Homo-oligomer: A and B are copies of this chain.
Amino acid sequence: MKLKYPLILGSNSPRRQQILRELGVEFTIRTIDLTEEFPGSIPVDQVAGYLAKKKAEAFEAIGPDTLLLTADTVVACDARILGKPGNEQEAAIMLETLSGRSHQVYTGTCLRLNENFHLLTDRTAVSFRKLTREEIDYYVHHYMPLDKAGAYGIQEWIGMIGIDRINGSYYNVVGLPVARIYGMFQSLGLIEF
Protein backbone atom coordinates (compact mmCIF):
# COMPACT_ATOMS: atom_id res chain seq x y z
CA MET A 1 0.00 0.00 0.00
CA LYS A 2 1.26 3.49 -0.75
CA LEU A 3 0.08 7.04 -1.17
CA LYS A 4 -0.45 8.57 -4.61
CA TYR A 5 1.52 11.73 -3.71
CA PRO A 6 4.54 12.47 -1.49
CA LEU A 7 3.60 13.06 2.15
CA ILE A 8 5.11 15.67 4.48
CA LEU A 9 4.43 15.27 8.18
CA GLY A 10 4.42 18.72 9.74
CA SER A 11 5.09 17.58 13.30
CA ASN A 12 8.06 17.19 15.62
CA SER A 13 6.33 14.53 17.69
CA PRO A 14 8.27 11.24 17.72
CA ARG A 15 4.99 9.45 18.52
CA ARG A 16 3.28 10.75 15.39
CA GLN A 17 6.32 9.83 13.33
CA GLN A 18 6.24 6.31 14.76
CA ILE A 19 2.54 5.85 13.95
CA LEU A 20 3.13 6.78 10.29
CA ARG A 21 6.15 4.47 10.12
CA GLU A 22 4.08 1.59 11.52
CA LEU A 23 1.35 2.38 9.01
CA GLY A 24 3.99 1.73 6.36
CA VAL A 25 3.74 4.95 4.34
CA GLU A 26 6.76 6.96 3.26
CA PHE A 27 7.00 10.53 4.46
CA THR A 28 9.41 13.34 5.17
CA ILE A 29 9.33 15.62 8.21
CA ARG A 30 9.17 19.39 8.04
CA THR A 31 8.43 21.62 10.99
CA ILE A 32 7.90 25.28 11.69
CA ASP A 33 7.93 27.32 14.87
CA LEU A 34 4.46 28.36 15.91
CA THR A 35 3.02 29.49 19.21
CA GLU A 36 0.09 27.26 20.05
CA GLU A 37 -2.27 30.10 20.88
CA PHE A 38 -5.97 30.17 20.23
CA PRO A 39 -8.81 32.63 20.91
CA GLY A 40 -10.52 31.93 24.23
CA SER A 41 -13.89 31.98 22.49
CA ILE A 42 -13.28 28.68 20.68
CA PRO A 43 -15.18 25.72 22.19
CA VAL A 44 -12.86 23.16 23.81
CA ASP A 45 -13.75 20.45 21.29
CA GLN A 46 -12.66 22.69 18.38
CA VAL A 47 -9.28 23.86 19.67
CA ALA A 48 -7.25 20.90 18.34
CA GLY A 49 -8.74 21.33 14.85
CA TYR A 50 -8.15 25.09 14.97
CA LEU A 51 -4.47 24.59 15.85
CA ALA A 52 -3.95 21.81 13.29
CA LYS A 53 -5.31 24.10 10.55
CA LYS A 54 -3.22 27.03 11.79
CA LYS A 55 -0.11 24.85 11.55
CA ALA A 56 -1.00 23.68 8.01
CA GLU A 57 -1.57 27.30 6.92
CA ALA A 58 1.71 28.47 8.41
CA PHE A 59 3.79 26.45 5.96
CA GLU A 60 4.97 28.15 2.76
CA ALA A 61 3.94 26.76 -0.61
CA ILE A 62 4.50 23.00 -0.53
CA GLY A 63 4.27 22.38 -4.26
CA PRO A 64 1.47 20.83 -6.31
CA ASP A 65 0.31 17.26 -5.70
CA THR A 66 2.06 17.10 -2.33
CA LEU A 67 0.39 16.17 0.94
CA LEU A 68 1.04 18.04 4.17
CA LEU A 69 -0.36 16.52 7.37
CA THR A 70 -0.43 18.51 10.60
CA ALA A 71 -1.97 17.65 13.95
CA ASP A 72 -2.62 18.95 17.44
CA THR A 73 -3.66 17.02 20.53
CA VAL A 74 -5.63 18.60 23.36
CA VAL A 75 -6.39 17.05 26.76
CA ALA A 76 -9.54 18.39 28.41
CA CYS A 77 -10.93 17.71 31.85
CA ASP A 78 -14.32 19.23 32.78
CA ALA A 79 -14.09 21.41 29.64
CA ARG A 80 -10.77 22.83 30.90
CA ILE A 81 -7.73 22.34 28.67
CA LEU A 82 -4.59 20.86 30.24
CA GLY A 83 -1.55 21.92 28.22
CA LYS A 84 2.04 20.80 28.54
CA PRO A 85 3.25 21.15 32.13
CA GLY A 86 6.00 23.71 32.76
CA ASN A 87 7.81 21.66 35.36
CA GLU A 88 7.61 18.45 37.38
CA GLN A 89 5.40 20.00 40.05
CA GLU A 90 2.85 21.13 37.47
CA ALA A 91 2.99 17.66 35.91
CA ALA A 92 2.18 16.07 39.29
CA ILE A 93 -0.76 18.45 39.82
CA MET A 94 -2.15 17.61 36.36
CA LEU A 95 -1.91 13.89 37.04
CA GLU A 96 -3.71 14.35 40.36
CA THR A 97 -6.46 16.16 38.44
CA LEU A 98 -6.79 13.22 36.02
CA SER A 99 -6.61 10.52 38.73
CA GLY A 100 -9.72 8.45 39.47
CA ARG A 101 -11.90 9.82 36.67
CA SER A 102 -12.24 10.10 32.92
CA HIS A 103 -11.26 12.96 30.62
CA GLN A 104 -11.36 13.74 26.90
CA VAL A 105 -8.54 13.70 24.36
CA TYR A 106 -9.06 15.50 21.05
CA THR A 107 -6.66 15.22 18.15
CA GLY A 108 -7.29 17.56 15.25
CA THR A 109 -5.57 16.81 11.96
CA CYS A 110 -5.37 18.90 8.82
CA LEU A 111 -4.44 17.55 5.39
CA ARG A 112 -3.32 20.22 2.93
CA LEU A 113 -3.35 19.33 -0.77
CA ASN A 114 -3.21 21.81 -3.64
CA GLU A 115 -4.36 24.58 -1.30
CA ASN A 116 -7.39 22.67 -0.07
CA PHE A 117 -7.50 22.03 3.70
CA HIS A 118 -9.23 18.84 4.88
CA LEU A 119 -9.91 18.90 8.60
CA LEU A 120 -10.98 16.20 11.04
CA THR A 121 -11.08 15.90 14.81
CA ASP A 122 -11.43 12.65 16.72
CA ARG A 123 -12.32 12.32 20.40
CA THR A 124 -11.43 9.58 22.88
CA ALA A 125 -12.56 9.30 26.50
CA VAL A 126 -9.72 8.09 28.76
CA SER A 127 -10.24 6.73 32.29
CA PHE A 128 -7.53 6.70 34.93
CA ARG A 129 -8.02 4.61 38.04
CA LYS A 130 -7.10 6.33 41.32
CA LEU A 131 -3.35 6.98 41.24
CA THR A 132 -1.25 7.03 44.42
CA ARG A 133 1.14 9.84 45.26
CA GLU A 134 3.99 7.34 44.95
CA GLU A 135 2.93 6.35 41.42
CA ILE A 136 2.65 9.97 40.28
CA ASP A 137 6.06 10.89 41.73
CA TYR A 138 7.66 7.79 40.26
CA TYR A 139 6.31 8.62 36.79
CA VAL A 140 7.20 12.29 36.93
CA HIS A 141 10.78 11.54 37.99
CA HIS A 142 11.49 8.56 35.73
CA TYR A 143 9.65 9.43 32.51
CA MET A 144 9.06 12.47 30.30
CA PRO A 145 5.78 14.21 31.14
CA LEU A 146 6.93 17.72 30.21
CA ASP A 147 6.55 17.48 26.43
CA LYS A 148 3.07 15.96 26.68
CA ALA A 149 -0.37 17.57 26.85
CA GLY A 150 -1.94 16.57 30.17
CA ALA A 151 1.48 15.41 31.47
CA TYR A 152 1.16 11.77 30.39
CA GLY A 153 1.83 9.43 27.50
CA ILE A 154 -0.72 6.62 27.19
CA GLN A 155 2.07 4.37 25.85
CA GLU A 156 4.34 5.04 28.85
CA TRP A 157 4.41 3.46 32.32
CA ILE A 158 1.67 5.66 33.81
CA GLY A 159 -0.64 4.84 30.89
CA MET A 160 0.02 1.13 31.28
CA ILE A 161 -0.61 0.96 35.03
CA GLY A 162 -3.17 3.75 35.31
CA ILE A 163 -5.50 3.71 32.31
CA ASP A 164 -7.94 0.86 32.72
CA ARG A 165 -10.24 1.80 29.84
CA ILE A 166 -10.70 4.11 26.90
CA ASN A 167 -13.71 4.75 24.70
CA GLY A 168 -12.66 5.69 21.17
CA SER A 169 -9.42 5.37 19.20
CA TYR A 170 -6.18 4.45 21.02
CA TYR A 171 -3.95 6.07 18.39
CA ASN A 172 -5.95 9.28 18.71
CA VAL A 173 -4.63 9.50 22.30
CA VAL A 174 -1.08 8.73 21.17
CA GLY A 175 -1.37 11.65 18.71
CA LEU A 176 -2.90 10.64 15.35
CA PRO A 177 -6.36 9.13 14.70
CA VAL A 178 -4.83 6.87 12.09
CA ALA A 179 -7.96 4.90 11.07
CA ARG A 180 -9.82 8.12 10.32
CA ILE A 181 -6.81 9.66 8.53
CA TYR A 182 -6.57 6.54 6.37
CA GLY A 183 -10.32 6.90 5.67
CA MET A 184 -9.73 10.49 4.58
CA PHE A 185 -6.86 9.40 2.29
CA GLN A 186 -9.16 6.74 0.88
CA SER A 187 -12.10 9.06 0.23
CA LEU A 188 -9.75 11.46 -1.59
CA GLY A 189 -8.50 8.61 -3.82
CA LEU A 190 -4.98 8.77 -2.39
CA ILE A 191 -4.47 5.09 -1.48
CA GLU A 192 -2.85 2.70 -3.97
CA PHE A 193 -2.32 -1.04 -3.49
Contacts and interface: CB of A to CB of B under 8 A. Distances in A.
Interface stretch (A4-12, A55-63, A162-170): A162-170
B171 A23 contact: no
Interface string A147-173: 000000011010011111111111100
Nearest to A154: B170
A179 interface: yes
Interface of A: 1, 19, 22-24, 124, 129, 134, 138, 154-155, 157, 160-171, 178-180, 182-183, 193
A179 B162 contact: yes
A138 B24 CA distance: 12
A160 B182 contact: yes
Contact of A161 (B23, B164, B168, B170): B23
Contacts of A163: 169, 179
Contacts of A179: 129, 160-164
Nearest to A139: B1
B167 A165 contact: yes
B193 A157 contact: no
A79 B159 CA distance: 30
A166 B170 contact: yes
B164 A166 contact: no
A21 to B, nearest CB: 11
Given A134-B193, A170-B170, 19 more contacts: A1-B138, A22-B155, A22-B157, A22-B160, A23-B157, A23-B161, A129-B179, A129-B183, A138-B193, A160-B171, A160-B179, A161-B182, A163-B169, A164-B180, A164-B183, A165-B167, A166-B169, A166-B170, A167-B167
